[in-house]
Amino acid sequence: MGLIVRAELKKIAEQFSIAGDFGDAFEEKAKNLLKDAMGRATANGRKTLMAKDL
């Protein structure tokens, strides 16, 4: 399951074309961001992700 919907990326990017590898790289960054946020929440004794974890 992907976190990123490529059609939505195209909507947001508007006048820009999006290369195939951009979507994959963006997906990987999003996953890493989520993992980092999970680590911060865990370190703070929470199982709830909050904006401050980003």
Q: Dump pLDDT digits (tens) for 12-35.
A: 999 999 998 998 999 999 999 999
Band of the pLDDT at 1, cuts 50, 70, 90? low
- The answer to whether residue 24 is domain-embedded is yes
Residue 20's domain comprises 6-53
What pLDDT sits at residue 51? 97
- The answer to whether residue 36 is domain-embedded is yes
- The answer to whether residue 48 is domain-embedded is yes
Q: What average pLDDT is seen over the chain?
A: 93
What pLDDT sits at residue 4? 84
Number of domains, the chain: 1
- The answer to whether residue 1 is domain-embedded is no
- The answer to whether residue 46 is domain-embedded is yes
- The answer to whether residue 40 is domain-embedded is yes
Give a three-class secondary structure readout of the chain.
CCCCCHHHHHHHHCCCCCCHHHHHHHHHHHHHHHHHHHHHHHHCCCCCCCHHHC
What pLDDT sits at residue 25? 93
- The answer to whether residue 18 is domain-embedded is yes
